[in-house]
A and B are shown apart, each in its own frame.
Chain A
Amino acid sequence: MTISIPPDKKESIEGLQPKGWFRYFSFSLDHKVIGLQYLVCGFIFYLIGGALASAIRIELTSPISDFMARDIYNQILTLHGTIMIFLWIVPVVNGAFGNYLIPFYVGARDMAFPRLNAIAFWLIPPAGLLLISSYFINGAAQSGWTAYPPLSITSPAAGQLIWILSVLLLGGSSIFGGINFIATILKLRRPGLKLMQLPMYCWAMLGTSILVVLSTPVLAGTLILLSFDIIAHTGFFNPALGGNAVIYQHLFWFYSHPAVYIMVLPAFGLVSEILPVHSRKPLFGYTTMVYSIMAIVLLGFVVWAHHMFTSGTPPWMRLFFTIATSFIAVPTGIKFFNWVATLWGGRISLNSAVLFSCGFIVNFVLGGITGVALAQVPFDIHVHDTYFVVAHFHYIVYGGSVFVIFSSIYHWYPKFTGRMLNESLGKFHFALTFIGFNLCFAPQHWLGLNGMPRRVAEYDPQFTFINQISSIGALIMALSTLPFLWNVFHSAFKGTIAGDNPWLALTPEWLTSSPPPVENWEGPAPLVTKPYGYGKSTASINKATTSSKEVEGS
């Protein structure tokens, strides 16, 4: 069955699109341009956030506060957390890959609301610059990325207010993106394409966008109330004026726990795209993967108070959140077993994309295990707010999401640019990142268990050696960026020509030229009902690479 959609009127859109390199600096409406804008912009902020992390690790090589002033240290750690979450991981796993891939996956020529899409992106650079500029104006916020009152109310107001404004802008960007993804996935699907035939990343983005749209407004409202407390001296969260500081924590975590899934669910989706292609096997357990994503979304809303086990929460509440949190491990576990089953019996190419994806699996399993431990109230009470927690969440967001971002860049770079990345440099990059990351964060579990709290510039001298090991790991991580950057720039001009489909993949973004034309396909959009139909028949691949029209597993 071949269904063809007549191409839209070309002149209407092509006249509007700037051409050449300039389009990446313009208010382009092309989802592919916007996706790459998100990716490059996010990476610049990653480098800034990484520089801040280096400053933190330098300070922590000695047990006394000697590298920078104590209030500067608190500003640096606040900026580091905020930048890495709101300007790097969230925009890249959602905005960058979501924008680039989702229209392809649903067989559309763009997102449902291209202008909203461009606005969502163009909120990010000013918000990021605003946040960073606060450091040079009057000192940045220094109450951590959690901004708990009353500390956030009593610390210098200018930095805190700029922080709030910046996070509100980024939250707005995130909501616009979320609405756009839901509309695109549900309403812009090519006729004949059923929901249960979509590539897994679509499901991950649908689940993530539901989380974004429902929980981000809660954060926005909370931060507006916090800004009232700071500007107008209202008493929502200020106990001195009869307010309640713990209510803020409930509202904050009602967004910020789902935010963890906003950072990892899209990563789960991306890995589900990458592993089948390189192991030449169908994604194992498609249906259970879909249901486990939705289960994580549902459970993600009812676990927030596990961040507050020492905040004087009543025992019944602690019990409920322990159980709810622990059970997230079940759908998450299903996904990991399914990925291993996808690898099992495959023909795995051991390239950089696969190595980073498998590095993600290993790191995330460790982060998940410490996560289940942290969900247990009696366990958490000892290690809450210590370096154990720092280690845990870096295993989730760096070992998890950032490893997947690198994996995805190795996988889709040929599509973005039409050229391959250098594999030897890629493997070197992986080795440095994996060793550096584990050297940096694994010892921090021990630090937390033995008495080092998080967010400190000075610590008990008995922890000096382990902190220095951790800082060496951080140095290796910082150095690992160099071969990657060289690879990306060099390959853009000198890399081997990739061709349209270097991986012989079956998902629709590969069934067009590299880089793709403005309207994604020259002819009608292909109907891909079996995006993971590997191993069915060799004909499927030939069909995919030659006809670019219709791919169906037999």
Chain B
Amino acid sequence: MPKSSAIYIALLIIALLIGGTWIGQNVNLLPIDASTNASIYDELFKVLFSIGTILFLGMVGLVVYSLIRFRRKPGQIDDGIAIEDNLPLEIFWTAVPAIVILFVGLYSYDIYDRMGGMQTLNHDSEHHHQAMLNTQKIWGGIGSGSIESSTQNSMAELPIEVTALQFAFLFHYPQGDIISGELHVPIDQPVSMRLESKDVIHAFWVPEFRIKQDIIPGQPTVLNFTPTKAGRYPIICAELCGPYHGSMRSTVIVEEPKEYNEWFNKNAKEVITES
């Protein structure tokens, strides 16, 4: 290979790496991040988007370049070069994707752990067994473990029971015995939801929180999150649940603790003074 073309190739690869990373880091395809979970998710998204952009542009570049550079010109009747394989090259493009995959896997494990997804696994098994025995079939979503380890958190979790039915969500606040069609939560307050379905499988999804959990009849599930930005965000059913699936929506209202308490006290059947 002539020296000049080697330099061009090196420059192209560097440009691809920088360009891909820049696109991945700076092109925003996501809605605002309104929970602790969402900001962690966005870190992962940027990494995956960067790697994906580099791979995609690289492969498309190779294909388009090959098609133009090696197209059959008029008058050419000979065959291409008969290269059947190249072991070092094969090892290279087996090893590099394997390393990238391994990195992505480990990184997403770390992200998942930070979201609280691995808590049940890392928790000592005795606690886990106890919880399983007590609660029968509670299957966890993100942060499923923290039901058992709620003492670790500085702030007590706000328990909410979610009931899904065709075609609505009902939110029950056991502390004040409130039943609401909209979800009110105070900002920066860890929330622990127990979700149960009355009929078919539904799913609880808040895009701005980057969380989703199926709501399964006969198998209560749990989902924890901590909202970080005040506002009104859609709650969307993400699992086909019947003709009105598309209109099975609600709203989560993240508000300042003062406003939340006003709402809570106005609706609570029995007023509880928080310690």
Mark A residues whose CB is within 8 Å of B: 65, 69-71, 73-74, 142-144, 148, 150-151, 154-155, 239-240, 242-246, 279-288, 310-316, 318-319, 322-323, 326-327, 329-330, 333-334, 336-338, 340-341, 343-350, 354, 358, 361-362, 365-366, 369-370, 372-373, 376-379, 381-382, 384-386, 445-446, 449-451, 453-460, 532-536, 538, 541
Tell whether, in the assembled complex, residue B104 and residue A71 are in contact, meaning their CB atoms are under 8 Å apart. no
Please give the distance in Å from B38's CB to the nearest CB on chain A: 8
State the CA gap A169–B121 with chains docked (Å).
43
Q: Is there contact, CB below 8 Å, between A310 and B214?
A: yes
Q: Which residue of B lies closest to A364 (CB)?
A: B59
Question: Chain A residues with Cβ under 8 A from B45's Cβ?
Answer: 379
Partner of A379, one of B44, B84, B142: B44
CB pair B245–A345 under 8 Å, yes or no, is no
A310 contact from B48, B89, B213, Cβ within 8 A: B213
* Residue B79 lies at the interface, judged by CB distance under 8 Å to chain A: yes
Q: Are B76 and A347 in contact (CB under 8 A)?
A: yes
Q: Please name the residue on chain B nearest to A541 by beta carbon.
A: B79
Q: Which residue of A lies closest to B108 (CB)?
A: A376
B105 touches A323 (CB 8 A): yes
A372 and B201 contact, CB distance less than 8 A: no
Given A282-B84, A378-B108, A386-B238: A311 touches B214 (CB 8 Å cut-off)? yes
Query: Is B141's CB within 8 Å of the partner chain A?
Result: yes
A456 & B246 in contact (Cβ 8 Å cutoff): yes
Closest residue to A384 on the B side, CB-wise? B212
Contact at B56–A347, with CB atoms within 8 Å?
no
Residue numbers in A under 8 Å from B203 (CB-CB):
310, 385
Could you say which residues of chain A place their CB within 8 Å of the CB of B94?
288, 330, 333-334
Q: Is B81 in contact with A281, judged by CB distance below 8 angstroms?
A: yes
Q: Do B246 and A370 touch across chains, with their CB atoms under 8 A apart?
A: no
Cβ-defined contact, A319 with B109, below 8 A = yes
* Distance in angstroms between the alpha carbons of A285 and B88 in the assembled complex: 11
Known contacts A151-B242, A155-B242, A340-B66: A451-B234 contact under CB 8 Å: yes
Please give the distance in Å from A328's CB to the nearest CB on chain B. Answer: 9
List of 8 A-B pairs having minimum Cβ-Cβ separation, nearest first: A239-B218, A312-B139, A456-B246, A535-B82, A451-B207, A346-B80, A535-B79, A281-B80
Chain B residues with Cβ under 8 A from A451's Cβ?
31, 205, 207-208, 234, 236
Which residues in B have their C-beta under 8 angstroms from that of A70?
243-244, 246
Is residue B168 contacting chain A, with contact meaning CB distance below 8 A?
Answer: no
Residues of B within 8 Å of A456, CB to CB, are 245-246
How far, in Å, is B61 (CB) from chain A's closest CB? 10
CB nearest neighbor in B for A339: B63
- The number of residue pairs between A and B whose CB atoms lie closer than 8 Å in the complex comes to 287
In angstroms, how far is the closest chain A Cβ from the Cβ of B101?
5
Contact A286 B85 (CB under 8 A): yes
* Contacting residue for A457 out of B78, B144, B246, CB 8 A: B246
Distance in angstroms from A113 CB to nearest chain B CB is 35
- Choose among A283, A350, A365, A381 the residue with the greatest number of B CB atoms under 10 Å from its CB: A381
Task: Say if the beta carbon of B71 comes within 8 Å of chain A.
Answer: yes
8 Å CB contact of B81 from A345, A365, A369: A345
Is the beta-carbon distance between B48 and A373 smaller than 8 angstroms?
yes
Q: How large is the interface on B (under 10, 10 to 19, 20 to 34, 35 or more residues)?
A: 35 or more
Residue B226 is within 8 A (CB to CB) of chain A in the complex: no
Binding site of B, secondary structure by majority: helix, strand, loop or mixed? Answer: mixed
- What residues on A are CB-neighbors of B186 within 8 Å? none
Question: Hey, which chain B residues are within 8 Å of A386, CB to CB?
Answer: 205, 238
B: which residues have CB within 8 A of A?
29-31, 40-41, 44-45, 48, 52, 55-56, 59-60, 62-63, 66-67, 70-72, 76, 78-86, 89-90, 93-94, 97-98, 101, 104-105, 108-109, 111-112, 115, 117-121, 139-142, 144, 199-201, 203, 205, 207-208, 210-214, 216-219, 221, 234, 236-247
B201 CB contact (under 8 Å) in A150, A243, A327: A150
> How far is the CB of A532 from the nearest CB of chain B, in Å?
8
Q: Among the listed B41, B83, B101, which residue makes an inter-chain contact with A330, where contact means beta carbons less than 8 Å apart?
A: B101
Given A155-B242, A310-B214, A378-B44, decide whether A347 and B79 contact each other with a Cβ distance below 8 A: yes
Residues of B within 8 A of A373 (CB): 48, 52
State whether B108 touches A377 (Cβ < 8 A): yes
Contact residues in B for A244 (Cβ distance below 8 Å) = 218-219
A314 to B123, CA, bound (A): 13
A454, B30: Cα distance in complex, Å: 17
Contact present for B56 and A366 (CB under 8 Å): yes
In the complex the two chains form, is B246's CB within 8 Å of A381's CB? no
Give B30's nearest chain A residue, CB to CB. A449
Structural contact, A343 and B108, CB atoms closer than 8 A: no
Q: In the bound complex, how far is the Cα of B236 from the Cα of A220, in angstroms?
A: 33
Q: Which of B67, B242, B244 contacts A343 (CB 8 A)?
A: B67
Which one of B59, B82, B109 contacts A365 once the chains associate, using CB atoms below 8 Å?
B59
Query: Given A333-B93, A340-B62, A365-B59, A347 and B78 touching (CB < 8 A)?
Result: yes
The smallest beta-carbon distance between B19 and chain A, in angstroms, is: 16
The reply to whether B66 and A369 form a contact with Cβ atoms under 8 Å apart is: no
In the complex, chain A residues whose CB is within 8 Å of the CB of B84: 282-286, 532
Given A282-B82, A534-B79: A347 and B72 within 8 A (CB)? yes
Bound: A361/B59 CA distance, A: 9
In the complex, the answer to whether B70 meets A343 with C-beta atoms within 8 Å is yes
A310 near B70 with CB under 8 A, answer no
Complex interface: chain A residues within 8 A of B90 (CB): 285, 288, 334, 338
